[in-house]
Amino acid sequence: MIKLDDKEIKEYENRLKGFAERSFPFATKFTMNKAGFELRKDWQGQIDKQFVNRNKWTKGSIQVDQTKTLDVRKQQVTVGSRADYLATQEFGGTIRKTGKQGVSIATSYSAGQGESSKPRTRVPRKANRIANIQLRKRRQSKKASRAQQNFLAVRAAATSSNKFVYLDLGKRKGLFKVTGGKRKPKVKMVHDLSNTAVTIKRTPTLQPALEQTQRKVPKIYKDALLFQLKRRGLA
Protein backbone atom coordinates (compact mmCIF):
# COMPACT_ATOMS: atom_id res chain seq x y z
CA MET A 1 0.00 0.00 0.00
CA ILE A 2 1.34 3.43 -0.98
CA LYS A 3 0.97 6.23 1.55
CA LEU A 4 0.22 9.57 -0.13
CA ASP A 5 1.31 12.04 2.52
CA ASP A 6 2.15 14.84 0.08
CA LYS A 7 0.29 18.02 1.13
CA GLU A 8 -0.09 19.14 -2.48
CA ILE A 9 -1.69 15.84 -3.43
CA LYS A 10 -4.25 16.18 -0.63
CA GLU A 11 -4.93 19.77 -1.66
CA TYR A 12 -5.40 18.90 -5.35
CA GLU A 13 -7.55 15.91 -4.45
CA ASN A 14 -9.86 17.92 -2.18
CA ARG A 15 -10.14 20.75 -4.69
CA LEU A 16 -11.04 18.39 -7.53
CA LYS A 17 -13.56 16.47 -5.45
CA GLY A 18 -15.09 19.72 -4.21
CA PHE A 19 -15.44 21.62 -7.48
CA ALA A 20 -15.18 19.06 -10.29
CA GLU A 21 -15.97 15.69 -8.75
CA ARG A 22 -16.76 14.13 -12.12
CA SER A 23 -13.15 14.67 -13.19
CA PHE A 24 -11.71 12.77 -10.24
CA PRO A 25 -12.21 9.25 -11.74
CA PHE A 26 -10.33 10.35 -14.86
CA ALA A 27 -7.33 11.23 -12.70
CA THR A 28 -7.38 7.90 -10.85
CA LYS A 29 -7.90 5.97 -14.11
CA PHE A 30 -4.93 7.71 -15.74
CA THR A 31 -2.78 7.12 -12.65
CA MET A 32 -3.47 3.41 -12.53
CA ASN A 33 -2.90 2.83 -16.23
CA LYS A 34 0.26 4.96 -16.25
CA ALA A 35 1.57 3.05 -13.23
CA GLY A 36 0.82 -0.25 -15.00
CA PHE A 37 2.95 0.69 -18.00
CA GLU A 38 5.70 2.05 -15.74
CA LEU A 39 5.75 -1.30 -13.93
CA ARG A 40 6.01 -3.09 -17.28
CA LYS A 41 8.98 -0.92 -18.26
CA ASP A 42 10.68 -1.32 -14.87
CA TRP A 43 10.12 -5.09 -14.93
CA GLN A 44 11.65 -5.35 -18.38
CA GLY A 45 14.60 -3.30 -17.11
CA GLN A 46 15.11 -5.73 -14.23
CA ILE A 47 15.01 -8.67 -16.65
CA ASP A 48 17.76 -7.02 -18.71
CA LYS A 49 19.74 -6.44 -15.54
CA GLN A 50 19.39 -9.91 -14.01
CA PHE A 51 19.36 -12.26 -17.00
CA VAL A 52 21.13 -12.97 -20.26
CA ASN A 53 18.31 -12.45 -22.76
CA ARG A 54 18.72 -14.65 -25.81
CA ASN A 55 15.63 -13.27 -27.56
CA LYS A 56 12.85 -10.69 -27.15
CA TRP A 57 10.20 -13.20 -26.06
CA THR A 58 10.63 -12.85 -22.28
CA LYS A 59 10.38 -9.07 -22.21
CA GLY A 60 7.61 -9.08 -24.81
CA SER A 61 5.59 -11.54 -22.76
CA ILE A 62 4.87 -8.87 -20.13
CA GLN A 63 1.45 -7.38 -20.77
CA VAL A 64 -0.70 -4.66 -19.18
CA ASP A 65 -4.46 -5.10 -18.80
CA GLN A 66 -5.68 -1.52 -18.42
CA THR A 67 -8.69 -0.29 -16.50
CA LYS A 68 -11.47 1.23 -18.61
CA THR A 69 -14.13 2.01 -16.06
CA LEU A 70 -14.66 5.37 -14.37
CA ASP A 71 -16.07 3.65 -11.31
CA VAL A 72 -13.24 4.26 -8.83
CA ARG A 73 -14.28 1.24 -6.76
CA LYS A 74 -13.85 -1.08 -9.75
CA GLN A 75 -10.71 0.37 -11.29
CA GLN A 76 -8.02 -2.29 -11.52
CA VAL A 77 -4.87 -2.78 -13.59
CA THR A 78 -3.16 -6.13 -14.04
CA VAL A 79 0.47 -6.55 -15.09
CA GLY A 80 1.62 -10.08 -15.82
CA SER A 81 3.66 -12.34 -18.06
CA ARG A 82 2.75 -15.22 -20.38
CA ALA A 83 6.15 -16.77 -19.62
CA ASP A 84 5.56 -19.31 -16.84
CA TYR A 85 9.28 -19.64 -16.16
CA LEU A 86 9.41 -16.08 -14.80
CA ALA A 87 7.45 -17.29 -11.77
CA THR A 88 10.08 -19.99 -11.19
CA GLN A 89 12.81 -17.36 -11.43
CA GLU A 90 10.94 -14.99 -9.10
CA PHE A 91 10.42 -17.50 -6.28
CA GLY A 92 12.90 -20.26 -7.13
CA GLY A 93 11.97 -23.86 -7.78
CA THR A 94 12.93 -27.19 -9.26
CA ILE A 95 12.56 -28.43 -12.83
CA ARG A 96 12.18 -32.20 -12.99
CA LYS A 97 12.49 -34.54 -15.93
CA THR A 98 9.26 -35.41 -17.68
CA GLY A 99 10.47 -38.44 -19.65
CA LYS A 100 13.00 -41.22 -19.46
CA GLN A 101 16.03 -38.95 -19.80
CA GLY A 102 17.13 -36.06 -17.57
CA VAL A 103 16.34 -32.36 -17.79
CA SER A 104 17.62 -30.91 -21.05
CA ILE A 105 20.17 -28.11 -20.72
CA ALA A 106 21.33 -26.74 -24.07
CA THR A 107 25.10 -26.23 -24.26
CA SER A 108 26.97 -23.22 -25.62
CA TYR A 109 28.16 -25.44 -28.47
CA SER A 110 24.55 -25.93 -29.57
CA ALA A 111 24.34 -22.15 -30.06
CA GLY A 112 27.56 -22.00 -32.05
CA GLN A 113 29.54 -20.30 -29.26
CA GLY A 114 32.13 -22.97 -28.62
CA GLU A 115 32.31 -25.44 -25.77
CA SER A 116 33.80 -23.13 -23.15
CA SER A 117 31.45 -20.15 -23.51
CA LYS A 118 29.62 -19.66 -20.21
CA PRO A 119 26.95 -18.58 -19.79
CA ARG A 120 25.33 -19.34 -23.13
CA THR A 121 24.05 -16.06 -24.56
CA ARG A 122 22.28 -17.30 -27.69
CA VAL A 123 19.49 -19.73 -28.47
CA PRO A 124 20.54 -23.10 -29.96
CA ARG A 125 20.83 -23.15 -33.71
CA LYS A 126 17.75 -24.50 -35.44
CA ALA A 127 19.32 -27.87 -36.30
CA ASN A 128 20.54 -28.27 -32.71
CA ARG A 129 17.22 -27.60 -30.99
CA ILE A 130 16.04 -30.65 -29.14
CA ALA A 131 12.67 -30.63 -30.90
CA ASN A 132 14.45 -30.98 -34.25
CA ILE A 133 16.77 -33.85 -33.25
CA GLN A 134 15.71 -37.35 -34.19
CA LEU A 135 17.88 -40.25 -33.12
CA ARG A 136 18.46 -43.43 -35.09
CA LYS A 137 17.19 -46.63 -33.52
CA ARG A 138 20.02 -48.50 -31.87
CA ARG A 139 20.49 -52.20 -31.54
CA GLN A 140 21.77 -52.86 -28.07
CA SER A 141 23.60 -56.02 -27.18
CA LYS A 142 23.27 -57.26 -23.61
CA LYS A 143 26.86 -58.51 -23.79
CA ALA A 144 28.32 -55.17 -24.92
CA SER A 145 29.67 -52.84 -22.25
CA ARG A 146 28.58 -49.20 -22.00
CA ALA A 147 31.83 -48.07 -23.66
CA GLN A 148 31.30 -50.53 -26.51
CA GLN A 149 27.72 -49.40 -27.00
CA ASN A 150 28.86 -45.76 -27.14
CA PHE A 151 31.59 -46.63 -29.65
CA LEU A 152 29.14 -48.44 -31.92
CA ALA A 153 26.64 -45.59 -31.71
CA VAL A 154 29.27 -42.98 -32.65
CA ARG A 155 30.55 -45.05 -35.53
CA ALA A 156 27.02 -45.59 -36.85
CA ALA A 157 26.30 -41.87 -36.66
CA ALA A 158 29.60 -41.02 -38.39
CA THR A 159 28.69 -43.19 -41.38
CA SER A 160 25.11 -41.92 -41.70
CA SER A 161 23.44 -38.62 -42.51
CA ASN A 162 22.08 -38.36 -38.95
CA LYS A 163 24.96 -37.01 -36.89
CA PHE A 164 23.19 -36.94 -33.52
CA VAL A 165 23.51 -39.66 -30.91
CA TYR A 166 22.61 -40.24 -27.26
CA LEU A 167 25.60 -41.27 -25.12
CA ASP A 168 25.76 -42.44 -21.52
CA LEU A 169 29.25 -41.61 -20.27
CA GLY A 170 28.53 -42.50 -16.66
CA LYS A 171 28.30 -39.24 -14.75
CA ARG A 172 27.48 -37.36 -17.94
CA LYS A 173 24.64 -38.19 -20.28
CA GLY A 174 23.33 -36.25 -23.21
CA LEU A 175 22.74 -35.69 -26.90
CA PHE A 176 25.94 -35.34 -28.88
CA LYS A 177 26.75 -34.28 -32.41
CA VAL A 178 29.33 -36.41 -34.23
CA THR A 179 31.93 -34.41 -36.16
CA GLY A 180 35.35 -35.03 -37.67
CA GLY A 181 34.59 -37.59 -40.37
CA LYS A 182 34.33 -41.38 -40.47
CA ARG A 183 37.94 -42.25 -39.62
CA LYS A 184 38.40 -40.01 -36.58
CA PRO A 185 34.95 -39.01 -35.36
CA LYS A 186 34.62 -36.58 -32.48
CA VAL A 187 31.59 -35.84 -30.33
CA LYS A 188 30.30 -32.47 -29.14
CA MET A 189 27.54 -32.27 -26.52
CA VAL A 190 24.55 -30.22 -27.62
CA HIS A 191 22.13 -31.07 -24.78
CA ASP A 192 23.18 -32.14 -21.30
CA LEU A 193 20.76 -34.72 -19.87
CA SER A 194 22.82 -35.66 -16.81
CA ASN A 195 20.42 -34.34 -14.17
CA THR A 196 17.01 -35.73 -13.29
CA ALA A 197 16.20 -32.40 -11.62
CA VAL A 198 17.64 -28.88 -11.81
CA THR A 199 17.27 -26.37 -8.99
CA ILE A 200 16.55 -22.79 -10.05
CA LYS A 201 17.75 -20.24 -7.51
CA ARG A 202 15.48 -17.34 -6.59
CA THR A 203 16.19 -14.33 -8.81
CA PRO A 204 13.37 -11.80 -8.32
CA THR A 205 12.70 -9.24 -11.04
CA LEU A 206 9.06 -8.32 -10.38
CA GLN A 207 9.53 -7.40 -6.71
CA PRO A 208 12.34 -4.85 -7.26
CA ALA A 209 10.46 -3.48 -10.29
CA LEU A 210 7.31 -3.05 -8.16
CA GLU A 211 9.26 -1.16 -5.50
CA GLN A 212 10.79 1.04 -8.21
CA THR A 213 7.38 1.82 -9.70
CA GLN A 214 5.76 2.52 -6.34
CA ARG A 215 8.18 5.39 -5.78
CA LYS A 216 6.90 7.00 -8.98
CA VAL A 217 3.18 6.74 -8.24
CA PRO A 218 2.78 9.85 -6.03
CA LYS A 219 4.16 12.10 -8.79
CA ILE A 220 2.03 10.36 -11.43
CA TYR A 221 -1.08 10.91 -9.27
CA LYS A 222 -0.18 14.50 -8.49
CA ASP A 223 0.34 15.30 -12.19
CA ALA A 224 -2.96 13.60 -13.10
CA LEU A 225 -4.88 15.63 -10.49
CA LEU A 226 -3.24 18.88 -11.59
CA PHE A 227 -4.05 18.13 -15.24
CA GLN A 228 -7.75 17.72 -14.44
CA LEU A 229 -7.74 20.90 -12.31
CA LYS A 230 -6.21 22.89 -15.18
CA ARG A 231 -8.76 21.48 -17.59
CA ARG A 232 -11.51 22.81 -15.32
CA GLY A 233 -9.78 26.15 -14.80
CA LEU A 234 -9.17 25.39 -11.14
CA ALA A 235 -5.38 25.67 -11.18
Q: How far apart are CA 229 and CA 12, in angstroms?
A: 8
Across the range 91-114, mean pLDDT stands at 91
Bridge partners of 175?
166, 191
1 pLDDT higher than 50 = no
Instruction: Specify the pLDDT at position 22.
Output: 95
pLDDT tens-place string over residues 130-186 = 999 988 877 766 778 889 999 989 998 998 889 999 999 999 999 999 998 888 999
Name the more confident of 122 and 76: 76
The answer to whether the beta carbons of residues 57 and 81 sit under 8 Å apart is no
Q: 197 by DSSP, 3-state: which?
A: strand
User: Averaged over 35-51, what is the pLDDT?
Assistant: 96
Which candidate, 144, 147, 164, places its Cα nearest to that of 156? Answer: 164
Per-residue pLDDT tens for 76-85? 999 999 999 9
Between these two residues, 183 and 222, which has the higher pLDDT value? Answer: 222
Alpha-carbon separation of residue 43 from 89, 215, 223 (angstroms): 13, 14, 23
Percent of the chain at pLDDT exceeding 70: 97
pLDDT at position 127 over 60: yes
The DSSP 8-state label assigned to residue 100 in this structure reads S
How far, in Å, are 74, 110, 117, 158, 181 from residue 187 at the CA level?
61, 12, 17, 10, 11
pLDDT of residue 120 exceeding 90: no
Is the distance from CB of 175 to CB of 166 less than 8 angstroms? yes
Which pLDDT value is given to residue 5? 60
Helix, strand, coil: what percent of the chain each, to 5? 45, 15, 40
Q: What is the mean pLDDT of residues 80-98?
A: 93
pTM (2 d.p.):
0.79
